[in-house]
Amino acid sequence: MEWEVVIGLETHTQLKTNTKIFSGASTTYGAEPNTQACEVSIALPGVLPVLNKQAVECAIQFGLAIDAEIAPRSVFARKNYFYPDLPKGYQISQYELPVVGKGKLTIQVPAGKHSEAYEKTIHITRAHLEEDAGKSVHGAVEGMSGIDLNRAGTPLLEIVTEPDMRSAAEAVAYAKKLHELVQWIGICDGNMQEGSFRCDVNVSVRPKGTEKLGTRREIKNLNSFKFMQQAIEYETQWQIDTLEDGGKIQQATVLFNPDTGETRAMRSKEEANDYRYFPDPDLLPLIVTEEDKARVKATMPELPEAMKARFEADYGLSAYDAAALTASRDMADYFVAAVQAGAEAKPAANWVMGTLSAKLNAEEKAIADSPVSAQQLAQLLKRIQDNTISNNAAKQVFEALWLAEGEVDEIIASKGLKQESDSGAIEAIIDGVLAANPAMVEEFKAGKEKAFNALVGQAMKASKGKANPAQVNEILKKKLT
Amino acid sequence: MALNIEDIKRIAHLARIEINEQEAASTLTKLSGILGLIEQMQAVNTEGIVPMSHSQDLAQRLREDVVTEVNQRETFQAIAPMTEHGLYLVPKVIE
């Protein structure tokens, strides 16, 4: 039987705020345990939550970015469960009335072994504001668990999709796109190691061609795209094998073990959790007006889709190039800076996606930390454009720029890379080449086109690569005919 | 909706409240009474009325995103049963 996998994602994005969602305690990462845990964070009796304006604005920004309905009125609810890192005994979240409703995100799925690259729209069910829990530290003291409540109360936006994805590749493409988007609009730092962006993946399988969803298992807390890919592939195969062996899938929460590459069900609780959600009487409904939305919208950067369309229209870039350049805001910013500094758009796009990206990848550097600035790249491209240097020489200049050996024109001068464009000098070189290679000249005159190219090569060599190839071609042609 | 004694014990377990048989029986009577009252209220026609989420008809006030809290760990941990390296200690929990 042929099987189809059905995947939905829940992503917790930590919002980029100075303070917690319901108190004025700092959210700075990596502080000494419990030094950023105020009365509200540790849930002393009688404390009251006061909602952070910035967290609300982050949620509105996200809603606008995915073209979603933003609820004019949303409600905070208590999700009740017991765990030591949740001292109140409940998490403040949103349940029936989330701040962000239905939206969508277009993803680019890269070409695979058996498939071409394609685009797909993923529907987002909702996004809601909630607080993070604290952290449990095991093993510090024998027989005890240590609780650090610095993270308790950190604002999160939980983003939930419809079960729209049909492969691990689509799920990863969605997660990457979302990861870029939240950084692009500046609501999340995207740091996966520090847990700022964590994904839970719901996976089920069904016979291909059927409608009814299979029983799902939820893979918790994936914090790398590579692990996500591996976990989904393993889980999908495990479910198919189980069903083909006549077994049944039990709904469960599973964890991925990166060392074995396997998923394993967490010990099932004796009693299923019943969160007993109800509206939190400590918080009034959150009202978002049209004016609030307009005000937030005015502060937002141009979105990747809009920028992509603009690159195609204004710069004549292909859809592929425009999509690649807008894959991250830093890359798009770099490209725009190079063009504004006077580079022509197409060569700038080629250099950013080609030589620069390759070098950055090789040295595992982010484009924001590129040793070659956008302005330097623009200057380099101008020198190719005005025939000062050849493309080959430009690569050498680029390497020198990377090593901070100076500015473009200094490097061209110090390395003697300037192209010879003086036709008198080139003519002298060509005369020398013709005199030294009478056999080639004869061959050309006998109709062998290849001999012409060989003569060009000789002339370039004689000029130590500095002669302008177009000029060499032209002068040589004139002399031979 | 009729509750039985098993429902009471399950709810008590979820709420981590210890109750004995006698307390369970009296809680069953009380909770059933409350549910009876809710049944009466559900008979009222509420079509077209937005469910109330708060007793006051006001909107949530928002706070500027500025740090106002200082580190008071020493004060708070002075009344904690056990602490170590700045952590609050609790009996070991395993996933």
A406 touches A400 (CB < 8 A): yes
Q: The tokens of A318 are what?
A: 């292909």
For the structural domain made of B5-42, what CATH number should be given? 1.10.20
Mean pLDDT for chain A?
A: 92
Nearest CA distance, B26 vs chain A (angstrom): 22
CA neighbor of A121 nearest in space, from A177, A179, A159: A177
Q: What is the pLDDT of residues B15-31, one digit of tens each?
A: 889 999 999 999 999 99
Domain residue spans in chain A?
Answer: 3-292, 302-415, 423-480
Which one of A18, A36, A147 has the shortest CB-CB distance to B90?
A: A147
Tell me the pLDDT band of A289, cut-offs 50, 70 and 90: very high
Residue A271 has pLDDT above 60, yes or no: no
**Predicted pLDDT at A274:** 78
Q: Does domain A423-480 have CATH number 1.10.10.410?
A: yes
Q: What is the pLDDT of residues B35-59, one digit of tens each?
A: 999 999 988 998 998 888 788 888 9
Backbone angles phi, psi at A343, to 5 degrees: -75, 150
d(CA B13, CA B29): 18
d(CA A84, CA A99): 28
Question: Which is more confidently placed, A167 or A430?
Answer: A167
> What is chain A's alpha carbon radius of gyration, rounded to the nearest angstrom?
30
**Predicted pLDDT at A343:** 93
Helix (H) or strand (E) holding A168: helix A168-184
Residues A284, B60: C-beta atoms closer than 8 Å: yes
Which one of B72, B85, B95 has the shortest CB-CB distance to A140?
A: B85
Residues A281, B16: C-beta atoms closer than 8 Å: no
Q: What is the number of CB-based contacts under 8 A between chain A and chain B?
A: 130
Please identify which residue in the block is written with the tokens 């845990």: A37
Percent of chain B's residues with pLDDT above 90: 67
Residue positions counted in chain A: 481
Lowest-confidence pick of A189-198, A287-296, A412-421, B71-80: A412-421
Q: What is the pLDDT of residues A204-259, one digit of tens each?
A: 999 999 999 999 999 998 989 999 999 999 999 999 999 999 999 998 899 999 99
Residues B61, A51: C-beta atoms closer than 8 Å: yes
CA neighbor of A441 nearest in space, from A401, A413, A477: A477
d(CA A406, CA A395): 15
Q: What is the pLDDT of residues A114-147, one digit of tens each?
A: 888 899 999 999 999 999 999 998 877 888 999 9
Residues A145, B61: C-beta atoms closer than 8 Å: no
CA neighbor of A285 nearest in space, from B5, B1, B46, B56: B56
pTM of the shown model:
0.83
- A300 Cβ neighbours under 8 A, 6+ residues apart: A61, A64, A65, A185
Question: Which chain A residues are closer than 8 Å to B85 by Cβ?
Answer: 33, 140, 146
Euclidean distance between the first and final Cα of chain B, in Å? 35
- Strand pairing report for A252-257 and A217-222: parallel
A99: left (phi over 0), alpha (psi -120 to 50) or beta: alpha
3-state secondary structure of A98: coil
Residues A148, B82: C-beta atoms closer than 8 Å: no
Residues B93, A83: C-beta atoms closer than 8 Å: yes
Question: Which is more confidently placed, A230 or A438?
Answer: A230
d(CA A168, CA A354): 28
Q: Which residues of chain B approach chain A closer than 8 Å at the C-beta? A: 10, 13-14, 16, 53-56, 58-69, 71-73, 76-77, 82, 84-95
Question: Which chain A residues are closer than 8 Å to B18 by Cβ?
Answer: none
Nearest CA distance, B11 vs chain A (angstrom): 9
A422 touches A387 (CB < 8 A): no
Domain residue spans in chain B?
Answer: 5-42
d(CA A346, CA A367): 19
Residue positions counted in chain B: 95
Q: The tokens of A129 are what?
A: 């504001």
**Predicted pLDDT at A87:** 94
A130 touches A156 (CB < 8 A): yes
Residues B65, A279: C-beta atoms closer than 8 Å: no
Question: Which chain B residues are closer than 8 Å to A286 by Cβ?
Answer: 59-60
**Predicted pLDDT at A111:** 87
β-strand partners of A13: A157, A197
d(CA A297, CA A304): 15
Q: Exposure string (b/e) for A247-282, b if CB count within 10 Å is 16 or more?
A: eebeeebbebeeeeeebeeeeeeeeeeeeeeebbee
Residue A272 has pLDDT above 80, yes or no: no
DSSP state of A352: I
Which one of A44, A271, A281 has the shortest CB-CB distance to B54?
A: A281
Tell me the pLDDT band of A391, cut-offs 50, 70 and 90: confident
Q: What is the pLDDT of residues B84-94, one digit of tens each?
A: 999 999 998 86
Give the nearest chain A residue to B56 (CA atoms): A284
Question: Which chain B residues are closer than 8 Å to A82 by Cβ?
Answer: 16
Q: What is the mean pLDDT of residues A190-214?
A: 95
A23 touches A33 (CB < 8 A): no
Instruction: Name the E strands within A23-72.
Output: 51-52
Could you tell me if the ipTM is greater than 0.85?
A: no
Which one of A39, A83, A140 has the shortest CB-CB distance to B87?
A: A140
Residue B95 has pLDDT above 60, yes or no: no
d(CA A169, CA A239): 18
Residue A269 has pLDDT above 80, yes or no: no
Residue A270 has pLDDT above 50, yes or no: no
A480 touches A472 (CB < 8 A): no
A76 touches A280 (CB < 8 A): yes
> Crossing angle of helices B5-14/B21-42, nearest 10°?
100
Lowest-confidence pick of A187-196, A400-409, A412-421, A439-448: A412-421
Cβ contacts of A406-412, under 8 Å, gap ≥ 24? A407/A376, A407/A379, A408/A376, A408/A379, A408/A380, A408/A383, A409/A379, A409/A383, A412/A383, A412/A388
**Predicted pLDDT at A114:** 82
